[in-house]
Chains A and B, each alone.
Chain A
Amino acid sequence: MKLDELTKTSGEWLRGSGPETDIVISSRIRLARNLARFPFPNRADSATRKEITDLLGTSLKELDRPNPLYVWDIGSLEEVDRQLLVERQLISRDLAEKEGARAVAISYEENVSVMINEEDHLRIQVLNSGFSLDECWESINQLDDQIESKVTYAFSEQFGYLTACPTNVGTGIRVSVMLHLPALVLTKEIQKVFQALQKINLTVRGLYGEGSQAMGDFYQISTQITLGLSEQQLIKKLQEVIPSILEWERRARKALVSANREALHDQISRAYGILQSAQTISSEETMHLLSSVRMGINLDLIHELEIPTVNELFIHTQPAHLQKLHGEKLESADRNIARAAYLRERLGKANEEAE
């Protein structure tokens, strides 16, 4: 598996298939795990961190799985490749930017990624397209058992799986779904959604996790507590609340159409027009306009484009992807020109195929 191959696809989470994909982009579960006999990464010296990385890297490589894991040493990757993995949600910004021995193990389909020496020794993640948390749990539970048969986890009868930060102790689980909520943003109802979620201990983040901006109207809704409830209970909690948010977004979309169909159609068509003809365009503007276009497809106001294509454009127009596709390092101004050219080419092709 080569990193360059990644730029040819959109990755599992943007495949645009599975239940409720008009609004639910992807489902994700992560587990935090630590080895019993080592200090946590922040307290480990560089030799120990190296030992942990080697030990876990070897164990992960040797797991007997239908989709084997490929291990990358993050420290020896070029900056653009580290950024590429961040843009594809396979590693965190923290893992990309921190110092010391660290690695990531990824399956070819990109639905499994295991970070080594992030905040904890292991951050196991399973990512599926659409609203499919049960499948995520089944797959990550199995992988966790497999890893546990090779190494001894830090576990206490009272506190469960022990983690560097007490906010993750117990199950070490974070269950999340990524939603595309353009109508709730347009109607300014999104704030009410946040408040309702906060009351039941769920958090909302932007596209790239902690502290990231809510670009392209994408929001990650996730569980927050990890102790006192079982994994199934936490998953159920999210499964029960998401349908009402979907209902809320769909109602807002309908309301927008019935209030002023022409104005909405105009706004969406203009967004599409700019993407098809701009000569220079920033990443933020691209995300913003693609979000309108994506909603336009779901509302049947744009016919010649498909959701997977738009999903792919969201990721391929990110800085590292663009530079990989272009084959060379580009400064911000040149990136904006390359981005516009790429969009014109892709959207022109989509139009030809539709005709």
Chain B
Amino acid sequence: MKKCSRCSKIATLHITEINDGKVDELHLCEACAKMYLNQPPDNLDEEFPAVEAEFNELLEEEDSEESLAEEVACPSCGITYKEFRSKGRLGCPQDYIVFKPQLLSLLDNIHNATQHTGKYPKRAPEASQKQFELIKLRNDLNEAVQSEDYEEAARLRDQINELQQEMSDET
């Protein structure tokens, strides 16, 4: 554990500043980090905060009004949302269900999205496989339309219709 370079508490925030190729490492505790992040940078052009810093800020920004919800513990691993907020790591896969409302806004802030559109396990039941495929195709369609690739978009639309037809036939 590194100690904070401004006081003697344990550092939780590690910042690497790169200015003109020159690198400075900074290790700060939570209180000093807050001060550091809020101070205006010497030179705006040189500002280059690390991802962790942004992530921690996001965690702190969340309103603590929902303090009751914060004390709810995951029945599986026992972690509370409050603990997650201080550590930045969840305790088990079930946390994504238990803390879903809070995580939705956090994920929207971090990724600007709340729905997975990528790969899915081959083991998933066939019905869900088709559902995943549909989500993926819709995402691809969006991209094709945005990049004005209408030929690809038309092809994807046909594929989506076909898959939807298939799925409604089955039910």
Contact = CB atoms under 8 A, between A and B. Distances in A.
Interface stretch (A18-26, A71-79, A148-156, A317-325): A148-156
Interface in A218-237: 224-231, 233
Contacts of A230: 117-119, 136, 139-140
A355 interface: no
B143 to A, nearest CB: 7
Contacts of B15: 211
Given A166-B110, A191-B45, A198-B48, A233 B143 contact: yes
A214 B21 contact: yes
Given A119-B89, A158-B114, A190-B20, A148 B123 contact: yes
B100 to A, nearest CB: 8
A223 to B, nearest CB: 11
A40 B139 CA distance: 30
Contacts of B89: 40, 42-43, 119, 164-165
B90 A40 contact: yes
A156 B103 CA distance: 14
Contacts of A69: none
Contacts of A154: 93
B150 interface: no
Interface string A143-175: 011001100111111111110111101110100
Contacts of B155: none
B21 A188 contact: yes
Interface string A198-212: 100001111000111
Given A158-B114, A188-B21, A227-B114, A203 B51 contact: yes
A165 B93 CA distance: 11
Interface stretch (A8-16, A31-39, A303-311, A333-341): A31-39
Interface string B51-85: 11001000000000000000000001101000000
A162 B93 contact: yes
Contacts of A149: 122-123
Contact of A155 (B20, B88, B113, B124): B124
Nearest to A170: B116
The interface centre, meaning the residue of B14, B48, B119 with most chain A CB atoms within 10 A of its CB, is B119
Interface in B117-171: 117-124, 128, 131-132, 136, 139-140, 143
Interface of A: 34, 36, 38-40, 42-43, 119, 141, 144-145, 148-149, 152-162, 164-167, 169-171, 173, 185, 188, 190-191, 194-195, 198, 203-206, 210-214, 217, 224-231, 233
Interface of B: 14-16, 18-21, 23, 25, 45-46, 48, 50-52, 55, 76-77, 79, 87-93, 96-97, 103, 106-107, 110-124, 128, 131-132, 136, 139-140, 143
